Structure 1
Amino acid sequence: MSSENKSQTYPDVRFSGSASGRPLAVVTGASSGIGYELAIQFARHGYDLLIVSGSDAIDNAAAQLKDFNVDVVAVRHDLTQEAEVDAFCNDIRAIGRPIAAAALNAGVGVGGKFYETDLCRELDLIKLNVVSTVHVAKHLVQYMIEQGEGGKILFTSSVAAAAPGPYEAVYAASKAFVQSFALAMRHELKEKGIQVTSLQPGPTDTNFFHRADMDNTKVGVSEKDDPAEVARQGFEALMSEKDHVVAGSAKNHMMTTDLIPDALKISQHADMAKPGGASNIQGGPRD
Structure 2
Amino acid sequence: MADSNGKFAVITGASTGIGFELASIAAENGYDILVVADEPLIEAAAADFRTHGGKVESVEADLSTTEGVDSLLAATNGRRIDLLCANAGRGLGRDFLGQDVADWRKVVDTNITGTLYLLQHVLKDMVARDDGKVLVTGSIAGFIPGSFQAVYNGTKAFVDSFTDAIRDEIKESKGVQLTTLMPGPVETEFFDRADMMDTSVGASKSKSDPADVARDGWDALMDGKASVVSGWKNKLQVALAHVTPAAVLSGMHRNMAEPGTADE
Task: State the TM bucket, normalised to the shorter chain.
Answer: over 0.9
Report the AA paired with residue 25 of structure 2: Q
Query: Mind listing any 5+ residue stretches in structure 1 that lack a counterpart?
Result: 1-19, 281-287
The reply to whether residue 206 of structure 1 matches residue 206 of structure 2 is no
- The match for 1:242 is 225
Instruction: Specify which of 70, 79, 86 is matched with residue 86 of structure 1.
Output: 70
1:272 corresponds to 2:256: yes
- Residue 141 (structure 1) aligned with residue 123 (structure 2): yes
Over 4 Å off, 4+ runs: none
> Which of 124, 144, 152 pairs up with 2:133?
152
Aligned to 1:73, the other structure's residue is in SS state strand
Q: Structure 2: which 5+ runs fail to align?
A: none
Q: How far, CA to CA, are the matches of 1:202 and 1:73 in structure 2?
A: 30
Tell me the distance in 1 between the aligned counterparts of 2:70 and 2:82: 20
Secondary structure of 1:111's counterpart equals coil
C-alpha distance in structure 2 between counterparts of 1:116 and 1:260, whole Å:
28
Report what 1:164 is aligned to: 145
How far, CA to CA, are the matches of 2:104 and 2:142 in structure 1? 17
Distance in 2 between residues matched to 1:187 and 1:90, nearest whole Å: 29
Q: How far does residue 254 in structure 1 lie from its aligned partner after superposition?
A: 2.3
Residue 21 of structure 1, CA deviation: 4.4
Conserved 8 A contact 2:11-2:86: yes
In structure 2, what is the Cα distance between the partners aligned to 1:141 and 1:170?
26
Give secondary structure in 2 for the equivalent of 1:255.
helix
The question of 1:179 aligning with 2:163 is answered: no
State the one-letter code of the partner of 1:116.
G
Normalising by the residue count of structure 2, what TM-score does the alignment of the two structures yield? Answer: 0.93
Question: Do the aligned partners of 1:201 and 1:246 also contact (CA within 8 Å) in 2?
Answer: yes
Q: Matched residues, percent identical? A: 42
* 1:198 and 1:243 in contact (8 A); partners too: yes
Whole-angstrom CA distance in 1 between matches of 2:56 and 2:116: 24
Question: Which one is further off, 251-260 or 223-232?
Answer: 251-260
Separation in structure 2 between the aligned mates of residue 169 and residue 267 of structure 1, nearest angstrom = 12
- Whether contact under 8 Å (2:83, 2:134) holds in the other structure is yes
Q: SS of the counterpart of 1:109? A: coil
The residue aligned with 2:171 is: 190
SS at match of 2:51: helix
> Do the aligned partners of 2:197 and 2:203 also contact (CA within 8 Å) in 1?
yes
Deviation at 1:45, TM superposition (A): 1.7
In structure 1, C-alpha distance between the alignment counterparts of 2:41 and 2:209, rounded to whole Å: 20
Distance 1:278 1:153, change over 3 A: same
Instruction: Tell me how far apart the structure 1 counterparts of residues 260 and 21 of structure 2 sit (CA, whole Å).
Output: 30
More deviation in 203-212 or 176-185?
176-185
Distance 1:84 1:98 in 2: 19
Residues in 2 aligned to 1:38 and 1:75: alpha-carbon distance in whole angstroms: 16
With 169-178 and 71-80 compared, the bigger mean Cα shift is at 71-80
Preserved contact between residue 167 and residue 274 of structure 1 (Cα < 8 Å): yes
Give the partner amino acid of 1:198: T
CA distance in 1, matches of 2:182, 2:29: 22
**Which of 241, 244, 251 is the equivalent residue of 2:233?**
251
2:33 match: secondary structure: strand
Q: Which residue of 1 aligns with 2:208?
A: 225
Shift, 1:97, TM fit? 2.9
CA contact (8 A) 2:5 2:31 kept: no
- For residue 278 of structure 1, give the secondary structure of its aligned residue in structure 2: coil
Tell me, yes or no, if the aligned pair for 1:255 and 1:265 is still in contact at 8 Å: no
Report the count of equivalent residues: 257
